[in-house]
Structure 1
């Protein structure tokens, strides 16, 4: 198991990774914020699905998912059709315009990553991809199992013993 200092450095790197996510977000068109892009990406990768499954994959509340879905449906990028198995539920699927939008978003993000990682070897990019997939999987596994994190205990600093005296009454 890694040392506590390694986990602390990892936390710092996650914070710094926010800058990468912000830059990726800046290249998205104004009518397709990152949450909407994530929905399009998941529908493109996993195919048609119920809203509850989409919320699960996004790891967000149903109300957040519903806002993203409404935004995309208003633009004609996804359709919501009744679920034949349960008429109360809706099945979400990409429209042809949604597929076109997803392809354009993918091209933008792929191009930016290719530019920023131009000095990385193919193996380094592949290693980063594997490690990020493994990290995500570890979090998926822990969310499903609700296992508390296993961190090494913090080092205890030596302190001077204190003595207490009863208060004068």
Structure 2
């Protein structure tokens, strides 16, 4: 850990000479050994995880660095999906809503497809299906109500 702190101080000095500085809230030294801590960087959460397969096969303890979407990245995606599947869109054709969601989901999926994000992809898929199902139920309830023609 002392080597990491020395390196951080050296980087701080070099950046200082260039007129830049490290943000104190965003810069920290993290102990990734044996999955003790994790860190968020560019929308990803990094953490060392125990490999059960190596243990089962060779009886050796091995940790590998895994990467998946951070909680903040998941929240931002849920907010975007929520915004586009809002109750006010229950009058829209569901195909239009899906067409608006597809580029967002494709982009998010392309960014996070490498790494260990299978559980997070399942969570996103379940959330999108749930939101679309709610929108469809709301649309069918509206269909049975009396609508008055707009005044000209």
TM-score of the pair, normalised by structure 1:
0.24
- Structure number with higher relative contact order (C-alpha < 8 Å, ≥ 6 residues apart): 1
